[in-house]
Amino acid sequence: MATSSNYSEVLMCQQPLKQDEAFTTMESHREPSDITVVVQNGIKFRAHQDVLSEASPFFEKLLNSGMKESREGLIRLETYTEATMKALLQFIYTGNVHICDLETAIDLFTISDYLLLPNLKSLAENFLLSAEILSTFNCISTYYFAEKYKVGELLSKAETFIYANFVTIAKSQDFLKLSNKEVEMWISKDEISVDDEEDVFQIILAWVYYDTAERKKYFANLFRHVRLLYVSRDSLYGEVMTNELVLCSEGCLELVKRVLKPFPCRNNDEFSVRPRRSLEVPVIVVSAEMFVLCYFPRENKWCELANNVSTHLRECEMASCGGQLYFLHLIDFVIDSTISIYEMSMLRYDSIANSWKAMPYKEERYLKQIFVRNDTEMYALVTDACRECENRSCICCRAIRGEPPNSTRKKLMSYITKYIPESNSWTEIASFDFGLREGICIVTKGNFIYFIGGGALMQRMDRSLRDTERYDISTNAWDKVADIQEDRMFACGATCHDRIFVVGGINRQGASVTKTCEVYNEHTNEWHFMASLISRPAMLSSMVCVDDKLYIVGGCCDLEGNQTGKLQCYDPEKNEWREDIEIPVGRKGSKNSLKYYSNACSMRIFRGFVDNLDKSSSKRRRSMCERLKCQIL
């Protein structure tokens, strides 16, 4: 490519060039121009064959291979504008060009891609990525440009912008001119931001009415993407069912009628459709024996879950996956005054149907923990340990009783199993030997499952550990990563801000729970201490991430009956914890036993369900918070 040291800066014409005007430099080239480039509207530029050939492999092959362009001295690039060619030749002759708007950047990117000019292409791409160029008028065209030329970062920015401003963008000419397949692609997305699901219906109507004669045949297919379960009944009766396009389609009418049926009569498949992300609100779900409570951080409000479970959630493991709430817990079957049989049971709560469903749990091995990856996949850690030992196998009991290490015994194997909702079954995906290791903190991030800390059950004592390993689900491989800085067992952990956080747990100093917290950075493979908790957490607490904030909740009292009555929340910007959210439930009991146990998880639910909770609440539920202030359940 020619630079200013070889050739003078190109003189850019302020007026359109006439047919016979030449493209000149401030100082005459040593040879007269010998090539004419024709662009849109027949406008011609004069240039030099050796300069073009040196700058671009495309020109070099075109002008030095005996082709017609070389013989006639004429190159036709009539899809490009005069302004684009001026900027292109300025770059070829000087090595630089000033880009000042989105249209110029896109034109230069496309022509540099065509003419094989990687440096000019990089300049145009840098402008597209660095400037705040996206608007409701150009984001659609920018998205499809980035998709065509595989500009990944620009594609992501345009996509995010469209999601955030979808209702406004859907009114633009660019959107109204999209094909039916392109419209279907956008309205099927969970991420599009709408005020109500009715907005999607109105967007489809506007697109169809833009060219009714041609587009009405696509209406029924597009209508399938309206998530009617989340459309208000007033809108279903007043706007949807009265619309001419709906009335003319038997299939569309049937979809509406199915949703208008009472909940018990509906097909379970209808509840598998999640609401748009913009129509969901985050909630922290807390189980406390026979109570299941919901805390809404944005509203700072507690509610008791409707139709609460009537059974005792003993040793409950709870998780939210795919918009469903799952409980796995022990049920006691008392045979007589001296014999009890323990059996695992599984319950699923559907917030849309507002109903509980008992589901068979056929796993014979001992359930240690359940955990969720990416909000869509639920896993369990199970072992060969027997239930009669209360989470410690007979092997463990022998070790605690002081049996020699070489005594005859089998390995204590652990397994990771994955839940398959369609068949309500668990499939084994990995097995390993963690030995006599209890109280492991399990955290998922991306494809990795992290196993952090825990305790080694030794003869007559437990020893807390710093060990940290991770399992890669995608490759079925284990990896040893940096150990946590403080040994801890029964700690709680969560992923937030692309980091892994571990809090609390019992360390080797004794039975007290530590207030220290650590954070792990995958990129540096390092753990660092962060701000400590305000108060010592209860044993077996849970930590959840909601709206990029961490919350500590639940657990069980110590032998003295001490338990915090507040949630602790971490503010990442200030690197500090606060403790000002009252937990409206507690239980007292004998001072010689654990008093209260709870578990917690976070999930997102349809915001209309929150309103229904208030509207359908009984007098007892409406006054729950006030009542719990003056008496302990």
Does the structure show a pLDDT above 80 at 325? yes
Most confident of 325-329, 384-388, 582-586, 587-591: 325-329
Sheet holding 377-383, edge to edge: 366-373, 377-383, 414-420, 425-432
Which has more confidence, 329 or 178?
178
In percent, the amount of the chain with pLDDT more than 90 equals 48
With CA atoms as reference, report the closest residue to 436 among 470, 471, 401. 401
Q: Which two tokens stand for residue 430?
A: 């990995």
What is the Cα–Cα distance from 563 to 556, expressed in whole angstroms?
Answer: 7
In percent, the amount of the chain with pLDDT more than 70 equals 76
pLDDT of residue 18: 38
pLDDT of residue 597: 53
Would you say how long the chain is, in residues?
A: 633
Q: Average pLDDT in the 554-561 region?
A: 55
pLDDT of residue 626: 45
User: What is the band of 455 on the pLDDT scale with cuts at 50, 70, 90?
Assistant: confident
Q: HSE on the CB side for 159, CA within 13 Å?
A: 15
| pLDDT tens for each residue of 407-446 | 445 567 899 999 998 889 999 999 998 877 888 999 999 9
| pLDDT tens for each residue of 51-104 | 999 999 999 988 888 788 888 889 999 999 999 999 999 999 988 898 888 888
Q: Average pLDDT in the 113-134 region?
A: 89
R_g of the chain, CA atoms, integer Å: 33
Q: Average pLDDT in the 222-235 region?
A: 94
| pLDDT tens for each residue of 148-191 | 999 999 999 999 999 999 999 999 999 999 999 999 999 999 99
Does the structure show a pLDDT above 90 at 253? yes
Q: HSE on the CB side for 490, CA within 13 Å?
A: 16
CB 183 within 8 A of CB 222: yes
Does the structure show a pLDDT above 80 at 524? yes
Q: Average pLDDT in the 613-625 region?
A: 45
CB 516 within 8 A of CB 529: yes
| pLDDT tens for each residue of 194-212 | 999 999 999 999 999 999 9
CB 180 within 8 A of CB 222: yes
Which has more confidence, 514 or 536?
514
| pLDDT tens for each residue of 273-308 | 889 999 999 999 988 766 788 899 998 888 877 555
Does the structure show a pLDDT above 90 at 573? no
Q: How distant, in Å, are the alpha carbons of 440, 443, 599 from that of 492?
A: 9, 9, 11
Q: Which two tokens stand for residue 437?
A: 């290791």
| pLDDT tens for each residue of 347-363 | 888 777 777 888 888 88
| pLDDT tens for each residue of 111-122 | 999 999 999 999
